[in-house]
Amino acid sequence: MKSSVIFLLLSVWFYPLLSQASSAAAELDKKVQSFLDQRKGTWLRGSIPESDGKLLFDIIKKNKYTRAVEIGTSTGYSSIWIAWALSKTGGKLITIEIDKGRQQTAVANFKEAGLSGYIDARLADAHELVYQLDGPFDFVFMDADISTDYVEATANKIVKGGVFITHGVRNETGDYANYLKCLQGFETDFNTGGGFCISIKKPK
């Protein structure tokens, strides 16, 4: 009887909190979607297409990734998709941009989309900063110059089951693609439709 009373009291206290959290998540979803709809077609050339943004979102949400790094913020389009997914998993994104103007624009976009609390936006040279970041990470997205430096700097910090996703790889036989195919401990698949290649850290 006593345990039933305790359960009832906990339910009275806990369920309103769940309802509030659900309401806040719904409001955030509405705000982010509205922002993306308003800004459709205005992003810088070279930004990922909407279909790829949704793919990043789904990968993070499905795998419950929480510790993400993005190399190459630009003005924040892909960052918004990543951070939106992280808002569902309780995670946070570190995103790096070297260009001050683009980084400032991105920060303003994050605020307008309602996602600032999920993003740590760094103004830095990613070639240097990625080596300084403390892991572990479960999601790394590279949308910058195609360089093995970024892989070398993060591969050992990615947890088993985590991913390193590269945007802009359209040649599966190029030097970078071959490097990824031979990367110890990872298995790489190529999504040539969107220019993604996805390197998954093997569980064993």
Long-range contacts of 43-51 (CB under 8 A, 24+ apart): 43/75, 43/77, 44/74, 44/75, 44/77, 44/102, 46/74, 47/74, 47/75, 47/77, 47/78, 48/77, 48/78, 48/143, 48/167, 48/194, 49/194, 51/194
17 within a domain of the structure (yes/no)? no
59 within a domain of the structure (yes/no)? yes
Q: What is the mean pLDDT of each run of 10 residues along the chain (204 residues)?
A: 48 51 85 94 84 94 98 97 97 98 98 98 97 96 94 97 90 85 91 78 86
Given this model, what pLDDT does residue 169 score? 82
23 within a domain of the structure (yes/no)? no
Residue 188 sits in a domain whose CATH number is: 3.40.50.150
Give the structural domain span for 100: 50-201
Of 34, 119, 104, 28, the closest CA to residue 69 belongs to 119
For residue 164, the SS3 value is strand
CA angle 95, 162, 125 (to 5 degrees): 25
CB 80 within 8 A of CB 114: no
CB count within 10 Å of CB 134 equals 6
Given this model, what pLDDT does residue 22 score? 75
45 within a domain of the structure (yes/no)? no
Number of domains in the chain: 1
Q: Is the pTM of this model over 0.85?
A: yes
H-run or E-run covering 95: strand 92-97
8 within a domain of the structure (yes/no)? no
68 within a domain of the structure (yes/no)? yes
Of 96, 97, 105, the closest CA to residue 75 belongs to 105
